[in-house]
Amino acid sequence: MTTTLITGANKGLGFETARRLVAAGHTVYVGSRDAERGRRAAGELGARPLLIDITDDASVAAAAKTVEAEGGLDVLINNAGIEGRGEGNGVIGAADTTADTLRELFETNVFGLVRVTHAFLPLLRRSAAPVMVNVSSGLASLTGMSDAASPGHFYPGIAYPASKTSVNMITVQYAKAFPDIRINAVEPGFTATDLNGNTGVQTVQQGAEIIVRMARLGQDGPTGGYFDAQGPLPW
């Protein structure tokens, strides 16, 4: 039996990933920073709710303690994230980006991911088949963002892409440090969720595809990579 935690799984891509992994036979913890939203989502899916605010040390530590007491963890999906849009739900452009804009994004997308990983690593290292999936973005790719022909090239914001490029580097470094854990970054594609005011062009079913695939990776699969549903992406 594989036990999986998905952060930010009360809605969006995390919720759809949870639905698919429950159907595949995983025991799934639906991570949510709000107890009621988490309970409702987990109840709907036949999963376990887990209260976890990834920006809060005490919340993350308590969540790790709960999962450890209930038997441990095999798969960690670092999915919770924010885009941090500005007024009128527009992307915050270069001229309006401040240190605080970055600080807020990094607190969730980068520091939150490391906070959760650090707390759950001891549990993963006890698993017979440990896997970690970091939900990154196509906007993380320095190659893509500096290529005018790339679909993400138009994106005007600084903080969100920079936070996801950090996620990619963190993925590479964790993968080297823990060769027994399959650790990969994934790009779900531009998906209609609350994150982008539902402007995405894909459904959550399409977006969750690569997250689910990498979560179900056997121990022979790749590690330290960056993938979308079509295959490896350029860094």
The distance of closest approach from Cβ of residue 200 to ligand NAP in the complex, given in angstroms and rounded to an integer, is 4
Residue 131 pairs in a beta bridge with: 75, 182
DSSP 94: G
Instruction: Select from 133, 193, 210 the least CA-distant residue to 167.
Output: 133
Q: Give the full edge-to-edge strand order of the sheet including 27-32.
A: 48-51, 27-32, 3-6, 75-78, 131-135, 182-186, 226-228, 231-232
133 near ligand NAP (CB under 6 A) = no
193 near ligand NAP (CB under 6 A) = yes
Size of the site for ligand NAP (CB under 6 A): 31
Report the C-alpha gap between 59 and 109 in whole angstroms.
Answer: 16
7 near ligand NAP (CB under 6 A) = yes
Give the one residue of 4, 27, 97, 108 binding ligand NAP; rule: CB under 6 A.
108
Give the one residue of 155, 190, 226, 227 binding ligand NAP; rule: CB under 6 A.
190
Catalytic residue set: 160, 164
Q: Which stretch binds ligand NAP (CB under 6 A): 42-50, 77-85, 169-177, 222-230?
A: 77-85
At 182, which helix (H) or strand (E)?
strand 182-186
Report the C-alpha gap between 126 and 229 in whole angstroms.
Answer: 29
Give the one residue of 45, 63, 77, 81 binding ligand NAP; rule: CB under 6 A.
81
34 near ligand NAP (CB under 6 A) = yes
Report the C-alpha gap between 5 and 97 in whole angstroms.
Answer: 33
**Residues at the contact surface with ligand NAP, assessed by CB under 6 A:** 7-8, 10-14, 33-34, 37, 52-55, 79-82, 108, 112, 135, 137, 187-188, 190-191, 193-196, 200
